[in-house]
Structure 1
Amino acid sequence: MDKLRKHIEEITPVSDQEFEYIKTFFSEKKVRKHQYLLQDGDMVTCEYWIAKGIFRAFYLDKEGKEYIVQFALENWWLSDYNAFFGQVPSNMNIVCMEEAEVYCLTLLSREKLASEMHKMEHFFRMKLTKGYSAQQRRICSLLSGSPKQRYEEFAKMYPGIVSKVPKKYIAEYLGVSRETLSRLYSGGNLQT
């Protein structure tokens, strides 16, 4: 839980007493490689803070084609937020890509914590604001960026992930074919 406290204190300081109370709202979960945190159709009961590991959040269309919405690494928050906040079934899948440890927070616990502690309300608002901004940058990049520009933004957003995630998933995330990504690598245009 020390990592969680450090994460919270990147935005707002908390006393020992406050953190003792905050941590009562979280439950810890170990996740195996290839294990799903969430599958399409599930009710979304938690959002997750990643203490260790890498996750892939994706959507499957009617033909079964996978669209990666995001990767989530250590110190990131992850859920199907439309389903989490709307309390409707998920249309997303979240799968673990390496052994992981997450802290789970239910919507009820999140709301209670935020209503009781202004510091935590501020923390959650700042995390959502940053997440929304990152999502907007990703959409703009997909709409107008070249494959090279998208890769450079990816490498900046996810430092160190290139060596841990299969290239097929990176290509999928970037909206390019595996062949295009390979050609860019072999051409020396991209750095890993």
Structure 2
Amino acid sequence: MEELKKHIEAITPLTDEEFEYIKTFFKEKKVKKHQYLLQDGDKVTSEYWIIKGIFRAFYIDKDGKEHILQFALENWWLSDYNAFFNQTDSNINIICMEDAAILSLSLSAREQLASEFHKMEHFFRMKLTSGYAAQQRRIISLLSNNPKKRYEEFANLYPNIMQKIPKKYIAEYLGVSRETLSRLYSNTSRD
């Protein structure tokens, strides 16, 4: 739980007593590689903070094509936020890509923490704001950048996971074919 305390304190300071209380709202869970955290149709009751591991969030369209929304790593928050905040069924899938450890937080626990601690309300707001901004940057990149530029942005943003994620998923995330990704990868490696 010390990792969580550091994570929160990167935004807002906490006393030891405050953190002792805050941590009681979180439940730790181990997740195995290939295990689903959420599947399309599941009731979404929690959001998750990743202690260690990598997750892939994706949507499957009516033709059965998978569209990767995000990869999530250590210190990231993850859920189907539309379903979480509206307490509805998920329309995305989240799968573990390597053995992981997470903390889960229910919506009622989150709301209670935010109402009892202005610091936590501020923390949650800052995390949602930065997540929204990152998602907006990704959409703009997909709409306006060529594959080479998207690949370079991904490699710069996530250099520590390039070797951990199968290339087919990176290609899918970038919206390119596996062959195009191989060309981009080999051209960048030679530079």
- After TM superposition, is the score higher than 0.5? yes
Partner of 1:62: 62
- SS of 1:189's partner is helix
CA RMSD of aligned residues (A): 1.2
Q: 2:104, 2:152 → 1: CA distance?
A: 32
Q: 1:135, 1:100 → 2: CA distance?
A: 23
Q: 1:35, 1:152 → 2: CA distance?
A: 30
Give the CA deviation at 1:157.
Answer: 2.4
Partner of 1:149: 149
Which blocks of at least 5 consecutive residues in structure 1 are unaligned? none
Of the structure 1 ranges 73-82 and 154-163, higher mean CA displacement relative to structure 2 is found in 154-163
Partner of 1:102: 102
Give the CA deviation at 1:156.
Answer: 2.5
Give the CA deviation at 1:190.
Answer: 5.5
Matched-pair contact (CA < 8 Å) for 1:48–1:105: yes
Which blocks of at least 5 consecutive residues in structure 2 are unaligned? none
Partner of 1:15: 15
Partner of 2:76: 76
Matched-pair contact (CA < 8 Å) for 2:83–2:90: yes
TM score, norm. by length of structure 2: 0.97
Of the structure 1 ranges 65-74 and 145-154, higher mean CA displacement relative to structure 2 is found in 145-154
Q: 1:127, 1:44 → 2: CA distance?
A: 19
**1:108-154 per-position Cα deviation (integer Å, ceiling 9, x unaligned):** 00000000000000000000000000000000000001111111211
Where does 1:162-177 land on structure 2 (aligned, <5 Å)?
A: 162-177=162-177
- SS of 2:111's partner is helix
Matched-pair contact (CA < 8 Å) for 2:151–2:184: no
- SS of 1:58's partner is strand
Q: How many residues align?
A: 191
Between the aligned residues of both structures, percent identity stands at 75
Matched-pair contact (CA < 8 Å) for 2:56–2:68: yes
- SS of 2:184's partner is helix
Q: 1:156, 1:25 → 2: CA distance?
A: 35
